[in-house]
Amino acid sequence: MRIAAFLLLASVPAVAQDRPPAYTPTRDVAVEYRLQSEGQTQQMRIAWLAARGLMRMEMPMGFAVMDQRSGQGFMAMTQQRMVMDMAAGNLPAGSLTRPPESARFTREGQERIAGQACTVWRMEDRGETARSCITADGVMLRTTAGSGNRATTIEATRVDYATQDPAQFNRPQGFQSLQLPPGMGTPPGGAFPQRGTALPPPGLR
C-alpha cells in the first residue's frame, strides 16, 4: 500500500498551543491500528518499551525498531534473516515522534477512541494540514490527513497497557547485515514505504 506524504494531526473553541503533550508513550503499551488509504485497509501493530524509548512496528516481512531518543533504528526481515540499520527518516514509522520544527499546532477538543480519552490537535506545516488525537500519556489513537479519495486515516482499534518484553526490541542475532544503495529508503520487494511516505502518525513530511 502506498501512503501519501506523512500525516498528522471537537468541540471547544480552538486555542493555539506551541506543542501537544508527549508524542511518545510514557508507559509500555501495544496498539492495534486500522490503516485506510486510497480505498485499501490494512491492520498494523506498534508496541512501545517506554523505559528504553523503543518502538517496534510489525511489518508483513518482519519488524522495525526505532530508538526514539537517538533517531536510529533497524529493520529485520525474518524470512530472509537480514537486518538493515536505518535512520528515523527512513523507517516506516520514522515520523511518529518527530514532527517538523516548523509545524504549528492548535488544540481542537476531546474525543474517546478505543476506550481511551484523547485530545484532538490540528497541525499545519508548509500548507498541509492533518489532525491527530493523542492521549495525555502520549499514545496516538487516530491521525487523518487529506480528503476524498486521497484521505489517509490510521485509527486505534485496541490499546493494551501491558508490560512489553525487552527482548522483542533487540537487534536479532545471526542475521546478515544488508546495506541499501544510496538514496534507497525501502528494502527489496517494497514492503516498507520509502522516505517521504512514512506511515502515520504525528508529523507532516
Query: What pLDDT digit, counting tens, does each position of 134-153 carry?
Result: 999 999 999 888 777 778 88
Domains of the chain, by residue range, sit at: 15-177
Q: Which is it for the CA torsion 2, 80, 61, 26, positive or negative?
A: negative
Do 11 and 112 touch, CB atoms closer than 8 A? Answer: no
% of the chain surpassing 70 pLDDT: 68
CATH number of 15-177: 2.50.20.10
Give DSSP secondary structure letters for the chain.
Answer: ---PSPP----S--EEES--S-SS-SS-EEEEEEEEETTEEEEEEEEEEGGGTEEEEEETTEEEEEETTTTEEEEEETTTTEEEEEEGGGSTTTTSS---TT-EEEEEEEEEETTEEEEEEEEEETTEEEEEEE-TTS-EEEEEES-GGG-EEEEEEEEE-----GGGGSPPTTPEE--PPTT--S-TTS-SPPTT-PPPSS---
pTM of the full structure: 0.75
Query: What pLDDT digit, counting tens, does each position of 14-40 carry?
Result: 334 456 656 689 999 999 999 888 888
Report the pLDDT value the prediction gives residue 39, as an integer from 0 to 100.
81
Q: Cell digits for 135?
A: 492521549
The rounded mean pLDDT for the chain is: 76
Query: What pLDDT digit, counting tens, does each position of 44-70 carry?
Result: 899 999 999 999 999 888 999 988 888
